[in-house]
Chain A
Amino acid sequence: MSGPACPLPAAEDGVIERGHGGGGAMTARLVADLFRPCFGTAPETPLHDGATLAVGGARLAFTTDSFVVTPLEFPGGDIGSLAVIGTVNDLAMCGATPLSLSAGFILEEGFEIARLRRIAAAMGRAAAAAGVQVVTGDTKVVERGKGDGVYIATAGVGLIPPGVTIGPDQVRPGDTVLLSGDVGRHGIAVMAAREGLGFDPPVASDLACLAPTVAALIAAGVRLHCLRDLTRGGLATALVEIASAAGLELSIETDAVAVSEPVQGACEILGLDPWYVANEGRLVAFVPEPDAARALAILRAQPAGAAAAMIGRVRPAGGRARVLAETIGGARVLDLLSGEQLPRIC
């Protein structure tokens, strides 16, 4: 055998890659190193699902999200319902009552109008169910071949009730971490639909509006320190981001995190970690320990909440800002994914 030979890769930061939109470390770096400096955002401004704006005497939550999904319709939802519910959920994670949405459409020349009508009707139904109105919008058409049929960008505003302050900076040592259901359904459903992977039984997206869940928690007087809906990057990414923003250590009980058997099976086949697979209807909540049992009862009473659980706690201050998950032999440190999670070879 000759000696080791492993050449240095060339730097790849010259152009945008798919991983920059993956919600992991590459996205975080793009936001921190490019967008925030260009926008003049103060470095200490917290990164959360939405911004809080003080307007007169009221506090508004303001958020935006863009939706690019292939295929446009998948088991459990479609790009239209996703565009409404995704933004409503981001408002709910600020503790806000969702009020109004905007919807911007980028349509590809040649896209069937009947299909657009189906998508728009799904948006209308999702908005009505969430109690919000789509009040403004925009439509652009790009040349055939320059889009995937339709892209939708939505923005939303909501009203934050007095006394509610939710964010990673509110997380306290000793807080209990709750998870609202099993994880990984949306990512597997979309991947299976896109790649024609026929899992039996098929996996449907967990797409669901979380605003009623948050409203029920607030109405019951649960002191919500932090909420985060688990979207791309999944449970692990949400926990790592919160631990990092809060500067605290989380310990997670691996067995408390529910993964449905079909999702587990798909992940085993594809070599994916379900904790990093996308969801669209699950949240984690950080609450003071005395409120945890009450919060859990409310989560379990929600639709699809049967698998809700207390999954861990915030360790005393002074530890490292990280997430530890227990294993058979010890503990592992959870990390942000680099780029997209890619299926393995063998």
Chain B
Amino acid sequence: MKYLAEFRDPAAARRLAASIRARVSRPWTIMEICGGQTHSLLRHGIDQMLPEAVTLLHGPGCPVCVTAAEVIDTAIALAAMPGVTLCSFGDMARVPGSAGSLLGARARGADVRMVYSPLDAVALARAAPAREVVFLAVGFETTAPASAIAVLQAEAAGLANFSLLCAHVLVPPAIGALLAAPDNPVQGFLAAGHVCTVMGYDEYEPIARRFGVPIVVTGFEPVDLLHGLLACLTQLEDGRAEVENLYARSVRPGGNAVAQAALRRVFVPAPRIWRGMGEIAASGLDLAPAYAGFDARARFHPAIAAPIGPGPCLSGEILRGRRRPTDCPAFGTACTPDHPLGATMVSSEGACAAYHRYRRTAA
């Protein structure tokens, strides 16, 4: 398939791996931010092609994993209200909050629908004027523009029965928070190509300068990932710390201006609690005052119990790159995709799920 086969070419991948082996002279630790990249690395066995001196840490770039339990609890509370239809992306629906998941809530009678786009939720609101349709708006800069456009469409159509439970998150503040931590082990980053397709990569320049880390905009296929790793390791070996775009077939420096304009119009930056990482300033998007009428929290005042405290799950440590999934005593035993103890095992992009799916040695 065009634009796919050439980036999954085993011979090209092996050549790049050989270049990496030739270039690396000492230990380096690199984090890929995006959960999609984590899965691709493990699925294609890219991590097994790297020299031992290179350590890959898996970052907080899985939208499902970093959504706080409080958001899921709120979504479940909203779904349980009479007259409310709660729309969610599919892979969010299985994630446990403090007391169950949206799929569990649906099995118990709540009206939970899986949609492919927030625009599907707007269409549902238009078709069912007697229902209150709430879209669970999660995800990074990749999904936030569609949420913004859904709000703009609902506004244009005069839909009073559509609202967002807004929990969008932003990548650069999370990278900043990871790097600012005193025991940060990460020396270089692979930035997520699709996030940069929307946002460009200007906002990474101050981070690279301030913390002295290379940040390489990278795609998702095996050859993309090896290209990104080679560029990042080359910078580290040369003592450089620059923002570099290795995904130029999709990413332009300024990103997608139309998407950014929609974001600026509908949303404002807000503090956000990340699952496992705590609150990070200006790391989320909330509805701007002009669109506050689309805020499901303000409209319905869903009541939830206080989220329960830390359990035995290490996912916070894993999302911050301190531990690896296989460091967890529960991995593959008490904690499996069927019986997940934490979000990193539930989500199709979670690091623990990736290790469980592709790298588990026990049958």
Contacts and interface: CB of A to CB of B under 8 A. Distances in A.
Interface of A: 1-10, 12, 15-19, 25-26, 29, 195, 197, 244, 261, 264-265, 268, 270-271, 320-322, 327-333, 335, 338-339, 342-346
B127 interface: no
Interface stretch (B25-33, B51-59, B293-301, B304-312): B304-312
A102 to B, nearest CB: 30
Interface in B66-123: 69, 89-94, 96-101, 103-104, 106-108, 114, 116
A16 B104 CA distance: 9
Contacts of A244: 363
A195 B307 CA distance: 35
18 contacts: A3-B278, A3-B316, A4-B276, A5-B310, A6-B343, A9-B100, A10-B96, A17-B103, A195-B116, A322-B363, A329-B46, A330-B49, A335-B356, A335-B357, A342-B94, A343-B90, A344-B90, A346-B63
8 closest A-B pairs by beta carbon, nearest first, are A4-B316, A9-B96, A329-B45, A2-B278, A342-B90, A330-B45, A338-B337, A320-B363
B310 A344 contact: no
B280 A332 contact: no
A202 B245 CA distance: 35
Contact of A332 (B101, B312, B343, B359): B359
Interface stretch (B139-147, B158-166, B259-267): B139-147
B277 A1 contact: yes
Nearest to B357: A335
B313 A8 contact: yes
B103 A18 contact: yes
Interface residues of B, number: 82
Contact of A15 (B48, B94, B108, B194): B108
Contacts of A195: 116
A284 B116 CA distance: 32
Interface-central residue, A265, A333, A345, by most chain B CB under 10 Å: A345
Contact of A344 (B4, B10, B91, B313): B91
Contacts of A321: 363
B294 to A, nearest CB: 20
Interface-central residue, B100, B104, B277, B320, by most chain A CB under 10 Å: B104
B104 A12 contact: yes
B205 interface: no
B104 A328 contact: no
Nearest to B178: A1
Contacts of B138: 345
Interface string B320-363: 10000000000000001110111100001100000011111111
Contacts of B358: 332-333
B116 A197 contact: yes
A345 B63 contact: yes
Contacts of B181: 1
Contacts of B307: 5, 7
B349 A327 contact: no
B49 A4 contact: no
Contact of A333 (B1, B98, B312, B360): B360
A67 B177 CA distance: 51
Contacts of A320: 362-363
B170 interface: no
Nearest to A339: B94
B338 A26 contact: yes
Nearest to B41: A329
Contact of A328 (B99, B222, B311, B314): B222
Contacts of A1: 177, 181, 277-280, 320
B310 A6 contact: yes
Nearest to A11: B339
